[in-house]
Structure 1
């Protein structure tokens, strides 16, 4: 443990301890000599102005009146936190088609400076942290910024929206509630004033977004969760049914570890297959995921959903029989 991490650990020990901590215990916790413990205590008290009280016999602690308020000046991170920050820096710079990296460029530069300050002369192998976007969509950066601004400023938002399913273009005025990142894409959850209902909008389909002066209508989190998180996927709403899907024994090894829905239920069948039950509202996205597994997945219930899956497979097969 280097000196930087020892000071951080010493601070955390003293801050969380209700009673004085002996030098012997500090020596064991910090994995250093008795003399080093005293030097670190002196540095923490004299250079960083920590409210340390006590002595070598009774032990040391933070003053009860000031210890709860004292924090180390600046930003102190241990090695694990620093590595996590490095990974986050790479994620910001390489994800979302550059939108996040551009919007958060000032923060990214501060992270890089922090990494340099605490690298102790080491060169961080940033090329070994890889982020590979999967099926991300291109977004208008101006629209993305305005959507985020409206969400955070609690202002209404006006924009043109082109629905993916019908390609119909409409003009919307909404009260943004939250912005959601789902499957490498961004979605706006909002109260649609024209439809008088909650809706989710794919941000890549939003154009000419404009933040209005009018204050956004706030919807309670419980209502948002009931409507937007109550069923399968981002295109959600009140659940209309429970889908039962059975996966082959080969696919079961992956599906058993996957998170499809907060209320999903899964179990292994005696023959090694895996049965998954998941609430859903619209069938489209659910069937897209099921068909991704091809012959290793079978929709069992409800019958209507099973027939939809069968029809999709028949139409796909027809493409290859022409």
Structure 2
């Protein structure tokens, strides 16, 4: 039996019981049993567990013949998740693609959303949008990553340091790393952990697929109150973000034409982006962004092909030219 106090189905049921009581419908055991297709005694056991083990003040209103919530508890209490529980939830996220649009998916959605909200800022599983998360992103991580994800998620929640070997994207060999993990989640279709690298004295981003020998250490750390995953990622155009202390943002200016101009206008590439339309049809535009680094913007510009021209900074112009020269040599 897991730390949920019962099976995982019981946990989802208790979350939904909490929601039913909180919305003021005054459900009783018989009504709840009919809704979840279980015996009234099962519901009574759930309510007893919620009262005695989780501290949820559920009171039976004799006049209205149903349960009501006493006190100011807004959310279902965060459960003490174990590694296997986190991995199981992650697996469930990947496995639900085949049931979207069904009553089962509709009944599970509130529970997943509530759990996702309570883990916000520490573990992101993108359960708030079932259609997008379960259908489009379900193949983002291979099965072999489930145990690793569970370990890292537990380390983030319990604030334990982590050691592992890591091979950088351009490195030939792996190096030993030790970090204080702040966040683990899905970013731009990949899975990453972001944390403070103790050896390199700064925030770093690590791809789960390139981490080996992961060990969750007993050393505890305090996660900074001012750390925000949104602000951290806001400095770049992708997952690789961050800038040196005191450094100013880099103004990136790109001129786009044709299909690329239309594509760029259809989505937000960066919070700071500004679009200037240069013709009457919107077939020629200028996009300006303030980025902390140029790590991934080169690849984005190249993906627009001959419909994109970098106007600034010069460092980005040189980076794009260097990549194009390398590509050209491949076909000589």
User: Normalising by the residue count of structure 1, what TM-score does the alignment of the two structures yield?
Assistant: 0.60
Q: Secondary structure at the match of 1:209?
A: strand
**Counterpart residue number, 2:207:** 202
Gaps (5+ residues) in structure 1? 1-7, 16-44, 51-65, 72-98, 120-125
**Deviation at residue 101 of structure 1 after TM alignment:** 6.4
Q: Deviations over 1:208-227 (max 9, x none)?
A: 11111110242233576665
Structure-2 separation of matches of 1:289 and 1:184? 15
* The one of 131, 134, 139 aligned to 2:135: 131
Q: Matches of 1:315 and 1:107 in 2, distance apart?
A: 38
Q: Give the counterpart of 2:192 among 187, 210, 225.
A: 187
The runs of at least 4 aligned residues of structure 1 exceeding 4 Å deviation read: 11-15, 66-71, 99-102, 106-109, 116-119, 222-228
- Report 1:137-176 matches (<5 A): 138=142, 140-176=145-181
Deviations 1:185-222 (A, max 9, x none): 11111111111211111111111111111102422335
1:237 aligned partner: 242
Which residue of structure 1 lines up, in the alignment, with residue 44 of structure 2? none
CA distance in 1, matches of 2:106, 2:185: 33
Deviation per residue, 1:148-207 (Å, 9 max, x gap): 110111111111111111133111111111113112111111111111211111111111
Distance 1:70 1:215 in 2: 29
- Matched with 2:291 is 280
Q: 1:258 and 2:267 equivalent?
A: yes
Q: Does structure 1 conserve the Cα–Cα contact (< 8 Å) formed by 2:182 and 2:193?
A: yes
- 1:33-57 per-residue CA deviation (whole Å, 9 max, x = no partner) reads xxxxxxxxxxxx734356xxxxxxx
Q: Secondary structure at the match of 2:268?
A: coil
Contact 1:134–1:184 (8 Å) recurs in 2: no
Q: State the number of aligned residues.
A: 235
Does the 8 A contact of 1:280 with 1:286 survive in 2? no
For residue 219 of structure 1, the aligned residue among 224, 232, 241 is 224
Residue 86 of structure 1 corresponds to which residue in structure 2?
Answer: none
Alignment partner of 1:140: what SS? helix
1:299 to 310, 315, 321: 310
Asked if 2 retains the 8 angstrom alpha-carbon contact of 1:140 and 1:207, the reply is no
Cα gap change, 1:276/1:100 in structure 2, threshold over 3 Å: closer, same or farther?
farther
Contact 2:233–2:241, Cα closer than 8 Å, also in 1: yes
Q: Within 2, Cα distance between the matches of 1:317 and 1:241?
A: 28
Q: Matches of 1:293 and 1:134 in 2, distance apart?
A: 27
Unaligned runs of 5+ in 2: 1-18, 27-62, 75-85, 108-129
Alpha carbon RMSD of aligned pairs, Å? 4.2
Identify the range of structure 1 (144-153 vs 228-237) with the bigger mean alpha-carbon deviation. 228-237
Residue 295 of structure 1 and its aligned partner are, at CA, apart by: 1.4
**Larger radius of gyration, structure 1 or 2?**
1
Cα displacement string for residues 280-314 of structure 1 (whole angstroms, at most 9, x for unaligned residues): 34434111111111112111111221122122223
2:324 corresponds to which residue? 313
